[in-house]
Structure 1
Amino acid sequence: MEYYEYLLIVAVGFIAGFVNTVAGGGSLLSLPVLIFLGLPPSVANATNRVAIMGQNIFSVAGFQSKGVSARPYSWWLAGSSLIGGAIGAWFAVEIDADLFNRILAIIMVLVVLSIIFDSVFKKKSNGEKLDFMHQLWGVIAFFFIGIYGGFIQAGVGFLTIAALTHINGFSLVKANFVKVFAALIYTGSALLVFIIEDKVNWTLGLVLAVGNSAGGWIASRWSVEKGDKVIRIFLVITVIALAIKLWFFT
């Protein structure tokens, strides 16, 4: 590969890491680039997880440096998604790309409608729901989110934010922290499966991870400083743009 191709990968990784941390869908940018550079789709899917791991390590550190946390509940969600992530990775097989993209586009539109019209996305002083039943529903939801994330990853952030805000009434800032923390855990289990199956291109994965990690660190600290209002605007714009891309440019 030429040097400028590595620079392209780092740049794409930075954008993907930033978008993944604040909203979701960054892998819809990084995956096509990896495939364009010659990786088979299954290898690109696995290689992208190396970058996601690095991104989430730095994103979690960035949120914590700003005092954002949701423990011990986040550990229960992460453990549930870890099991789901391993299952999803084992079943990471070829699916019809056009059908998948359109289904994902519909999901994303539903999420953005919720962001716009559902008041649960607005932070309230007594809005968090952390009683036993709401935590149980959260753990169940994250098991299935882990399966989806282990299987394909792209767009999982939107589902995670929807679950945390609707089930537990979390602010977008706290939801983003739990999102990247859980993603760190279930991505680890999925990556282990891909390593066992020898699907990872380590050179491209580590180069992409440099960009993703930088984007995740900056985005996590930036989002805490800007708060829910700016995150909501960023999220809406991102979802609409990616939904249009998925529906019309598959």
Structure 2
Amino acid sequence: MSVKYTLLVIAVGTIAGFLNTVAGGGSLFTMPVLIFLGLPSAVANGTNRIAIMIQNIIAITNFKNKGYFDWKLSVTLALPAVLGAIVGSNIAISLPDDIFNKILAVVMIIILGLILWNPKKRLKSRDLELNNRRKIIGAIVFFFVGIYGGLIQAGVGFIIIASLTLITGFSLVRINSMKVLIVAIYMIISLLIFIINGKVNWLYGLSLAIGNGLGAFIGSNLSVKKGDKWIKVILTISILLMSAKLLGIFRL
């Protein structure tokens, strides 16, 4: 990879890390860009997971230091997610590029709707009794979350936030701490499947990870409430254009 492409990937990672911190949906930006740079869809999918893994490890450390972690429940929900991720990842590595691109385009539009709906604001936290029934429902839900995470991954954070809010009623801080641990646990297995099958470009992945870390650092240290609407406008335009490109509506 040339120096200019390396810098481009780092820049894209920085934007994605920033978006993930202040609005969400960074992978909806990185995945199409990796594909447009010439990576096969499955390789782009696997490569993107390196940055996500590193980003979540950093987030886990931060939440742990702040004392927000709920290890027991997070691991309980992560186990069915791991099983789902095994299924989803094995499907992802065998999908033809054109089919995956179309699936990704449709998913991007759906997740865009979820971003604009914003579960962080729409769903209110409240104390719910985590009885066995809710735990069973949670296990079933997170099995399918794992399938989606293993197959696509992009936008899974919004799905997890909505799911955990409805199932547990916990505060968003606690939910976010659970989210990063659940994703990190199933991502270990998912990333391993992509690596074993040769579906990872390490240079792109590590460059992307550098950018993600930088973007997350910038985003977490800025007060951007006034910029949320602007960020969503840019994200909306970007997703619609990239979805149209993936669907073959136009060519660059």
TM-score scaled to structure 1, two decimals?
Answer: 0.80
Aligned AA (1:109)? G
CA contact (8 A) 2:32 2:242 kept: no
Distance in 2 of aligned mates of 1:145 and 1:214: 28
CA contact (8 A) 1:13 1:30 kept: yes
Alignment match of 1:102 (pick from 93, 99, 106) = 106
* CA deviation map 1:81-100 (0-9, x unaligned): 11111111001113263454
- Look up the match of 2:70: 70
Q: Sort the Cα spacing of 1:80 and 1:240 in 2 relative to 1 into closer, same or farther, 3 A.
A: same
Does residue 87 of structure 1 match 2:53? Answer: no
Distance in 1 of aligned mates of 2:142 and 2:4: 39
Does residue 122 of structure 1 match 2:124? Answer: yes
Alpha-carbon shift at residue 31 of structure 1 (Å): 1.4
Q: Sort the Cα spacing of 1:96 and 1:31 in 2 relative to 1 into closer, same or farther, 3 A.
A: closer
Alpha-carbon shift at residue 20 of structure 1 (Å): 3.2
**Which range moved further: 102-111 or 150-159?**
102-111
Q: Sort the Cα spacing of 1:243 and 1:159 in 2 relative to 1 into closer, same or farther, 3 A.
A: farther
- Taking only aligned residues, the RMSD between alpha carbons, in angstroms, comes to 3.2
CA contact (8 A) 2:161 2:175 kept: yes
Distance in 2 of aligned mates of 1:55 and 1:150: 17
CA contact (8 A) 2:84 2:147 kept: yes
- Look up the match of 1:150: 150
Q: Sort the Cα spacing of 1:22 and 1:73 in 2 relative to 1 into closer, same or farther, 3 A.
A: farther
CA contact (8 A) 1:83 1:143 kept: yes
Q: Sort the Cα spacing of 1:36 and 1:106 in 2 relative to 1 into closer, same or farther, 3 A.
A: closer
* Unpaired segments ≥5 residues, structure 1: none
Distance in 1 of aligned mates of 2:54 and 2:121: 34
Alpha-carbon shift at residue 53 of structure 1 (Å): 0.9
Q: Sort the Cα spacing of 1:240 and 1:167 in 2 relative to 1 into closer, same or farther, 3 A.
A: farther
Distance in 2 of aligned mates of 1:214 and 1:108: 24
TM-score scaled to structure 2, two decimals?
Answer: 0.80
Question: How many residue pairs get matched?
Answer: 240
Q: Which runs of 4+ in 1 moved over 6 A?
A: none
Aligned AA (1:209)? A
- Look up the match of 2:213: 213
Alpha-carbon shift at residue 57 of structure 1 (Å): 0.6
SS of 1:68's equivalent in the other structure is coil
CA contact (8 A) 1:17 1:26 kept: yes
- Look up the match of 1:50: 50
Alpha-carbon shift at residue 205 of structure 1 (Å): 1.0
* Unpaired segments ≥5 residues, structure 2: 247-252
* CA deviation map 1:74-125 (0-9, x unaligned): 111122211111111001113263454235423542564473884xx233xx
Aligned AA (1:115)? P
Distance in 2 of aligned mates of 1:116 and 1:24: 11
Q: How does 1:1-250 map to 2 (within 5 A)?
A: 1-21=1-21, 23-92=23-92, 93-94=95-96, 95=99, 97-98=101-102, 100-110=104-114, 112-113=116-117, 115=119, 118=122, 121-123=123-125, 126-216=126-216, 237=232, 244-245=240-241, 250=246
SS of 2:89's equivalent in the other structure is helix
Distance in 2 of aligned mates of 1:193 and 1:208: 20
